[in-house]
Structure 1
Amino acid sequence: MQMPHITDPLESPRAAQIEELLQQIRKSHVAPRITLDGQKMGLPNEVNEAILDLLSRFGDGHGVIVASIDSLLTNSKAAELLGISRTYMDRLIDEGRIPAQYRCTRRRVKLSDVIEYMESSDRKRAEKLDAIAQLSERTGQYDNDAF
């Protein structure tokens, strides 16, 4: 199984070139094609969408991770993706909040489980912030100012 490929954000001039290329592709309304040994080949829609998403992220100045959804990550790599400490990651695994698999004596977590945990945490955080805002509004402490 391949490890995820992590690419840092591109320098601004390169990101701008990618963004310009992406705009040209979108304006053309023609699916991108690849040329291999002089032969043009079309790609499935799912692949085209993934390529356009990749270009969009690079064009926006973001770093990118390319991996299979079932890739196994070390605790350290998973913690890095979540922006938490490895110790806290170990606790999440110990508590069963993120499932882990054993490879020899080391634990590994699926990228899909890490993403699911991240999305669930984001959803819960947003719900709690909404509840706080509603409570503040009901008690007259929130004046709906636009920021």
Structure 2
Amino acid sequence: MIMSRTGVLASATRVEADSGERELLAHLEASSHSATQLLLRGEDGQDTVLPESLLALVLAAVHDLAKGNAILALPVETRLTPGEVAQMLGLSRPFVVRLLDEGEIPAQHLPGSRHRLVRLADVLAFQARRERRAEGSRKIIEAAEDADLPY
């Protein structure tokens, strides 16, 4: 029996803030500092201080939501199909398949199948490397232009 796989990106938690919420979030971002705590009040009225890791996540979300960006919540260990990787990176699926074939992005074959899955953490690492290379190229071009060198 073959089971179809629901798209990970389609089922991820997506959060967006409306314009009124963005004002509040911008205020929260401006007022947050190292002594900030995140409290959860239970039904019994008991307050629990949530861990620093959760505070860091909430503050990162506040930062992006205040700017009008949507947040997509996925664990970094999430496994993605090559099509989902392509969608995330804004690349074509055939190009992503080539990156997988060349080992630029690690992938794992499903047992007894030619299909592959890619960890979100590996996609994010690839994207970070790609952005660093682009930044380095941009700096080289700027230096060449500043020195009036042909390139």
Question: Residues 7-31 of structure 1: CA distance to partner in whole angstroms, max 9, x if unpaired?
Answer: 164332332333334445x279431
CA distance in 2, matches of 1:27, 1:129: 34
Q: For the Cα contact (< 8 Å) 1:7–1:65, is it kept in 2?
A: yes
Q: CA deviation at 1:54?
A: 1.2
Match among 61, 67, 75 for residue 68 of structure 2: 61
The match for 2:129 is 120
CA distance in 2, matches of 1:80, 1:140: 38
SS in 2 for 1:97: coil
Provide closer, same or farther for how the CA distance between residues 134 and 14 of structure 1 changes in structure 2, counting only shifts above 3 A.
same
The answer to whether the aligner puts 1:45 opposite 2:67 as a matched pair is no
Residue correspondence of structure 1 range 88-99 to structure 2 within 5 A:
88-99=95-106
The match for 1:14 is 21
RMSD (Å) for aligned C-alpha atoms: 2.3
Unaligned runs of 5+ in 2: 1-7
The match for 1:144 is none
Q: For the Cα contact (< 8 Å) 1:33–1:42, is it kept in 2?
A: yes
Provide closer, same or farther for how the CA distance between residues 74 and 139 of structure 1 changes in structure 2, counting only shifts above 3 A.
same
Match among 32, 40, 56 for residue 34 of structure 1: 40
TM-score, normalised via structure 2 length? 0.79
Once the two structures are overlaid, the 10-residue window that deviates more, 5-14 or 76-85, is 5-14
CA distance in 2, matches of 1:49, 1:35: 19
The runs of at least 4 aligned residues of structure 1 exceeding 4 Å deviation read none
SS in 1 for 2:80: strand
Q: CA deviation at 1:128?
A: 0.9
Question: Residues 93-143 of structure 1: CA distance to partner in whole angstroms, max 9, x if unpaired?
Answer: 1111001112353211111110000000000011111111112222268xx
User: Aligned residues: percent identity?
Assistant: 23
Q: For the Cα contact (< 8 Å) 1:6–1:63, is it kept in 2?
A: no
Aligned length: 138
